Amino acid sequence: MKFALIGAGVMGKAHAIALRSVATVFPDVPAPVREILADVDGSRAEQHAKAWGFRHATDDWLSACLAPEVDVVGICTPNHLHKEMVLAAIGAGKHVYCEKPLGLDGAEAASMYLAARDAGAKTAVGFNYTCNPMIRLARSIVEAGELGDPVSFSGSFEEDYLGDPQAPFGWRCARSTAGSGALNDLGSHLIHLAHFLVGRLASVYGNLTTVYRQRPDPNGGAWREVENEDMAQVLVQFESGMPGTFEISRVATGRKSGLAFRLTGSRGSLTFDQVRMNELRVYRAADHSGQAGYQTILAGPEHADYENFCPAPGHGLGINDLKVIELRNVLAGIAHDRAIEADFEEGWRVQAVIDAIEESDRNRCWTSPATTPLLAVPATGDGQGTAVHSGGQ
């Protein structure tokens, strides 16, 4: 299976590491061939192709998509470039493995989803956090009914990469290149995680805030207006009737990789924090009499996929290992023509939720995510929440 990879930046490197390791870690999947590395910066493409073991380098992403020998196109470029590349790859009959968020918004994502569906392409979106054996364990506990009936879900994804008010304006701050802000970058992971664990959302009500409305222009002395939200605080209702909250921030001073949740049922509950990604905490109300309490389960070979990395418990996987599992899912899905869990349909559904959150903030009412891709329409309004706060009065 031959891969073209577009984008030789940070996520491109994560994909490249996975492409190299996957066949050793998972001997039962076909080894991917690193065929072409494309980057808008041709010399970077050359240099990284050599280091990362790609056969060819190019500064022409379209040629990489069209190359007849390529089976799968991986896309690791900024959000606004996904759509054109994805559609080209699908048009050329390729399978596509695209980083998140799938598009700038639900409409873009829907167009990619529909194109892939019509073409019969296998697709995947880079929602690697749900590849974690501990998250798989969480879902198996939920599915086995061990938590009882659903009561509530509190999820957050908080980082501080823009926590410094002086952090420069970057492509993530502009509507035209990023779409929404913290929602597209971090919220997309949290929404997918919620889908994965407890199902789809019926309705959302968001409060979006751009805490730092201007940031220094890295290209000069001026200040630029930030065009999307730094934070989103959201009330949610799942289709099951269970209520919950989402808290998403890129300005949460002190939080790094802060994807966390508490999932409560009538008979037990789970808590998880990505910074301790090898631990899942489980509470069972019916445990040993007088001795109930959260139990900290450490990742080990009894959990999905762990043993492929290490036979001994507690040794711990890292973030890049999740990318290896994700790639395995892509390879196995293509090889065996079976569904890939986080596919373009899921990529679109996640962004339909983000659209609904933005709309609920604009219109100040509970809003339901689109349930068919045809209904997805481009977002309107200024799209950046209200300055400082959009609440009340």
Site for a second copy in 327-356 (CB under 8 A): none
* Sign of the torsion formed by the C-alpha atoms of 47, 51, 55 and 60: negative
Q: Which stretch binds a second copy (CB under 8 A): 87-95, 338-346, 347-355, 361-369?
A: 361-369
Residue 345, phi-psi category: left (phi > 0), alpha (psi -120 to 50), beta (remainder): alpha
The correct pick among 143, 168, 223, 320 for binding a second copy (CB under 8 A) is 320
Residue 193 interacting with a second copy (CB under 8 A): no
Cβ atoms of 240 and 201 closer than 8 Å: no
Burial of 390 from C-beta contacts in 10 A (0-12 / 13-18 / 19+): middle
The correct pick among 6, 70, 226, 252 for binding a second copy (CB under 8 A) is 252
Tell me the site size for a second copy, rule CB under 8 A.
111
The correct pick among 58, 77, 278, 384 for binding a second copy (CB under 8 A) is 278
Residue 256 interacting with a second copy (CB under 8 A): yes
Residue 165 interacting with a second copy (CB under 8 A): yes
Residue 266 interacting with a second copy (CB under 8 A): yes
Residue 375 interacting with a second copy (CB under 8 A): no
Residue 292 interacting with a second copy (CB under 8 A): yes
Residue 362 interacting with a second copy (CB under 8 A): no
d(CA 277, CA 301): 15
d(CA 184, CA 351): 8
Least Cβ distance, residue 107 to a second copy (angstroms)? 21
Residue 164 interacting with a second copy (CB under 8 A): yes
The correct pick among 68, 220, 221, 392 for binding a second copy (CB under 8 A) is 392
The correct pick among 81, 294, 332, 341 for binding a second copy (CB under 8 A) is 294
Q: Which is closer to a second copy, CB of 101 or CB of 258?
A: 258
Question: Which residues 6+ apart lie within 8 Å of 299 measured at CB?
Answer: 133, 134, 278, 279, 306, 313, 314, 316, 317
b or e along 149-184 (b: 16 or more beta carbons within 10 Å of the residue's beta carbon)? ebbbbbbbbbbbbbbeeebebbebbbbeebbbbbbb
Residue 178 interacting with a second copy (CB under 8 A): no
Residue 122 interacting with a second copy (CB under 8 A): no
3-state secondary structure 340-374: CCCCHHHHHHHHHHHHHHHHHHHHCCCECCCCCHH
Cβ atoms of 354 and 101 closer than 8 Å: yes
Least Cβ distance, residue 179 to a second copy (angstroms)? 20
The correct pick among 79, 123, 184, 207 for binding a second copy (CB under 8 A) is 207
Residues 55-94 that bind a second copy (CB under 8 A): none
Q: Which is closer to a second copy, CB of 221 or CB of 254?
A: 254
Cβ atoms of 251 and 162 closer than 8 Å: yes
Least Cβ distance, residue 161 to a second copy (angstroms)? 7
Residue 213 interacting with a second copy (CB under 8 A): no
Residues 216-245 that bind a second copy (CB under 8 A): 231, 233, 235-237, 241-245
The correct pick among 1, 2, 13, 80 for binding a second copy (CB under 8 A) is 13
Per DSSP, the residues of 196-255 read HHH--EEEEEEEEEES--EEE-TTSSSEEE--S-SEEEEEEEETTS-EEEEEEES--TT-
